[in-house]
Amino acid sequence: MGSLADGILAVADWVTLHITMWVLLGVGIFLTIISRGMQFRHLGAMFKAVLSSRTDAKGGISSFQAFTISLAARVGVGNVFGVAAALLMGGPGAVFWMWVVALVGMATSFFESTLAQIYKVRQADGTFRGGPAYYMWKGVGSRAYGAVFAIIAIVTCGVVITSVQSNAIASTIMWTIPGANKWIIAALIFAFAGPIILGGIRSVARVTEWMAPIMATVYVVIAFIICLINLPQIPALIGQIVESAFNGAALGGGVGGGIMAAIINGTKRGLFSNEAGQGTAPNAAATATVSHPVKQGFIQALGVFVDTVIVCSATAFIILLAGPKVWSKEGVDPSNLTAYAVADQIGQWAMVPMALMIFVLAFSSVIAAYVYSEVNMSFVTDAKWARNLVRVVCVASACLGAVVSLPVLWNSVDIAMAVMTVTNLVAIALLWKWVAGALRDYEAQTRADKDPVFVATDNKFLPDVLKGDVWVRRED
């Protein structure tokens, strides 16, 4: 099994270096150019959109709830384990490449989430469904294309990502409480996740609405305190990260390093953490009730910024401040490096709270991954048995992930995400004109001091007639 895991890891690295990285950065740079750097020009509007996003749900899912579902998926073990792994295997320079992936990824996330809103469909209960599968069908014009993506997403989110996140929960509890029983951990996951997942998407939205912002804020506050204590060292750390990105310096003691290692691990961990272009977040974005697709696009783009530029950077600073005495400690690996680094800075008492925080981070990602699975299953078939099957499989995967060794799945997740990402980016590249038109429509209304409301009927900014009944003129 070990040789299989190593082989999968080698394939994952090759795919990242030769395919994912170039497609991800290439499409992101293209979208940045054609949108005239929307992620920089509209950063203020993104914060404003989030602050005013808790209203206008009209019985459905609010824009803020949709944002927190995707934030719950993004701010998970990738921000703790992923950054630690990137540093150990790629050196400090890996963090720089995570920043690059995030900054161009903000444009990609904006485009995919806005597309999800443009092509969303209304459900009988008044809520909406959408995402890559839907804009591949409605926009590109191929239901088969959408079905392929949907099946990939169901398996990746409902089985692989769910199992990996719950495995992280088990690993955290095991090193915090030596001798802890895996089956008891699985039972705890079932007790917490089961009722929420089996309650459906609205149940998840109600939980993530408060859980995701709180956990992200607490973690960033801890990091801010640590950085404040070590404020004089921060400029040097940033310089070390940037310099190492181009000279391939190792983390310390010969651990990690190399320019290619920095690029590969920064790209892989950046994608795993912020999911920009992967095609997962648009499934949550489409469920929101908003007056203009661009508003949700802004909100989801900000999620990438929060996840990587703020939360992942916080983790990197904590680890780098801890120094070699923590990196080289016996038994230290990506699953516990961040916790040891925090304890080194503020005391051993922090180990248990950190373990609890990692539990919450991973748990939130489990329930968010379920949402992505169900949305895509509803594309394949809207039968009630299918929705129930997704819920049962997600709960079962979360429980099994806690009790089995998953090196194969941990190494497979990069390949699974690469396949999803490339499949999704092709569709975005084909449909970018719709988002560019929606953005121009939004900007024209804001220049006229209006609160933008999107109407597709006779919209001069759109490249063609938009089919569907969601964005038609009210009197129509």
pLDDT tens sequence across 272-320: 566 778 888 888 888 888 889 999 899 889 888 888 888 888 888 888 8
Task: Please indicate whether residue 299 or residue 220 has the higher confidence score (pLDDT).
Answer: 299
Instruction: Identify the pLDDT of residue 253.
Output: 46
- 122 three-class SS: strand
pLDDT (average), residues 172-199: 77
- 290 three-class SS: coil
Q: Which pLDDT band holds residue 35 (cuts at 50, 70, 90)? A: very high
Distance CA 317, CA 312 (A): 9
Quickly tell me which residue has 């996140």 as its tokens. 165
Quickly tell me which residue has 């703790």 as its tokens. 80
- Stretch (H or E) spanning 129: strand 128-129
Task: Please indicate whether residue 297 or residue 129 has the higher confidence score (pLDDT).
Answer: 297
Most distant pair of Cα atoms in the chain: their distance: 69
Q: What does the DSSP 8-state code read for residue 61?
A: B
Instruction: Identify the pLDDT of residue 29.
Output: 93
What pTM value is reported for the model?
0.83
Q: Which pLDDT band holds residue 76 (cuts at 50, 70, 90)? A: low
pLDDT (average), residues 173-177: 74
β-partners of residue 128 are: 122
Q: Which pLDDT band holds residue 132 (cuts at 50, 70, 90)? A: very high
Instruction: Identify the pLDDT of residue 476.
Output: 44
The full length of the chain comes to: 476
- 196 three-class SS: helix
Closest C-alpha to 119, from 106, 132, 105: 132
* Architecture of the domain defined by 1-475: Up-down Bundle (1.20)
R_g over Cα of the chain: 21
pLDDT (average), residues 405-430: 80
Distances from the Cα of 194 to the Cα of 74, 115, 188, 223, 296, angstroms: 21, 31, 10, 32, 29
Distance CA 344, CA 125 (A): 51
Distances from the Cα of 467 to the Cα of 111, 139, 232, angstroms: 19, 9, 57
Distance CA 317, CA 225 (A): 11
